[in-house]
Amino acid sequence: MRVIAGTARGRKLMEPADRRIRPTLDRVRGALFNMLVLEIEDAEFLDLFAGTGANGIEALSRGAAHCVFVDNDAEAQKIIRGNRFHTGLASQARCLPLSLPADLHRITGSYDIIFADPPYHNDYYAALLEGIVGKELLKPEGLVVIEHDRRENMPESIAGLERTRFKHYGDAALSSYRFA
């Protein structure tokens, strides 16, 4: 697993020792950032269920101003810390050891782009989207992107957000949401 583009392009990223942490596939990450190409420069990026931190690292490498990584797993936090320092992007980022979606209220700030990659086949996509809106984590012109299993039934609209895009890549899918 490597950084695809930007200032840290080609840098190898630490990977998890076991399958408990599921990194975003490179082709899905590539598709995500092709979608974000016009929005990433100077963006405030929130990486929820960050895992290895590959998506937030990619955002920083491609010009995001700052990234907050959120993951409550101790191994994930260690990997994210290592990847931030290895890529030279540590000064633009911080990591919060929070459990989601329960601890969304503990995240401060508002973000241009929020990426979430929760464990597949869970029942809290709605709670996550409602929490993002309720806590005002998303800026008015911002974008939420959720990675999920393509067979998951994602809401078309919720809490003032409308799904603007759905695209699948094998079993993985990305759903994008903006304020209506």
CA distance from start to end of the chain: 36
Whether 16 is covered by a domain: the verdict is no
DSSP H/E element including 26: helix 26-35
Whether 51 is covered by a domain: the verdict is yes
Whether 13 is covered by a domain: the verdict is no
Whether 10 is covered by a domain: the verdict is no
Task: Sort 124 into a burial class: Cβ within 10 Å, 0-12 / 13-18 / 19+.
Answer: middle
Structure confidence at residue 18 (pLDDT): 72
Whether 65 is covered by a domain: the verdict is yes
What is the full per-residue pLDDT of the chain (180 aa) written as tens digits?
Answer: 899 999 999 999 998 887 777 778 888 999 999 999 999 999 999 999 999 999 999 999 999 999 999 999 999 999 999 999 999 999 999 999 999 999 999 999 999 999 999 988 888 899 999 999 999 999 999 999 999 999 999 999 999 999 999 999 999 999 999 999
CATH number reported for the structural domain that contains residue 174 in this entry: 3.40.50.150
Whether 12 is covered by a domain: the verdict is no
Neighbours of 169 (CB within 10 A): 17
Q: How far apart are CA 92 and CA 39, in angstroms?
A: 17
- Structural domain tally of the chain? 1
Neighbours of 81 (CB within 10 A): 16
Q: How far apart are CA 75 and CA 96, in angstroms?
A: 13
Q: How far apart are CA 85 and CA 67, in angstroms?
A: 14
Range of the domain at 170: 26-179
